[in-house]
Amino acid sequence: MGFFKLLREDIDVVFDQDPAARTYFEVCLTYSGLHAIWAHRIAHAFYRRKFFFIARSISQISRFFTGIEIHPGAKIGRRFFIDHGMGVVIGETCEIGDNVTIYQGVTLGGTGKEKGKRHPTIKDNALVATGAKVLGSITIGESSKIGAGSVVLNDVPDHSTVVGIPGRVVIKNGEKVRKDLDHHKLPDPISEVLKKMEREIHTLRQELDSIKGVKRDDD
């Protein structure tokens, strides 16, 4: 596909994904996600030709103006859509398929200083929701969804929904995998610790009152 036809597709996907988009003029001038994708396509072309300094310079200028950091080495397919976009980070060895959508605050990053493939592969038609962190050389399957705020450290099968910290598959091929966790109810580890402490304090109070021979109305 020609370069300019690819840019036209990037505009068209905005109208497909965002009901707030009104005119081509508005989209071209005001959508930071679109600007970041266009800058990346140019930077990636330089990167493939080993003009690494020019490529990184373009990506950093784009980061300054859009708030979206995409390493020029990342491979991004067609009709990629970044909604809002502020705080998005996409690492060097990321591979993103076609028709992928990600939202603000998403990190597609590594887990350390390892060499080689160290960032995620996102397959076609996947969606990564607000604030999700997908870390390491893992694969997010085709048509899968990552819930908002999730931290994903393992491979996700095709046609699955993942939520939580760490991310767990709750829906696969349209069927619920876990009965005890709804996809909109993310686990809160801090709340769980506080509840456990509250139960332990209540038990200690009961034991202390028993020793003192005191009976409380709330027991």
Whether residue 201 sits in one domain with residue 168 = no
Whether residue 90 sits in one domain with residue 159 = yes
Q: How far is CA 155 from CA 47, 85, 141, 162, in A?
A: 28, 24, 8, 10
Whether residue 212 sits in one domain with residue 137 = no
Whether residue 203 sits in one domain with residue 104 = no
Whether residue 130 sits in one domain with residue 41 = yes
Could you list the residue range(s) of the whole structural domain that residue 212 is in?
A: 188-219
Whether residue 218 sits in one domain with residue 126 = no
SS3 content of the chain, % helix, strand, coil (to 5): 35, 20, 45
Whether residue 213 sits in one domain with residue 174 = no
Whether residue 39 sits in one domain with residue 111 = yes
Whether residue 33 sits in one domain with residue 136 = yes
End-to-end CA distance of the chain: 73
Residue 98: give its domain's CATH number: 2.160.10.10
89-90 sheet: strands from edge to edge = 69-70, 89-90, 107-109, 133-135, 151-152
3-state DSSP assignment of residue 22: coil
What pLDDT was estimated at residue 187? 56
What pLDDT was estimated at residue 208? 86
Structural domains of the chain, count = 2
Tens digit of each residue's pLDDT (9 = 90 or more) over 129-175: 999 999 989 999 999 999 888 899 989 988 888 888 887 887 777 66
Whether residue 103 sits in one domain with residue 42 = yes
What pLDDT was estimated at residue 179? 47
Radius of gyration in angstroms for the set of CA atoms belonging to the chain, rounded to a whole number: 23
Tens digit of each residue's pLDDT (9 = 90 or more) over 179-196: 444 444 555 667 777 888
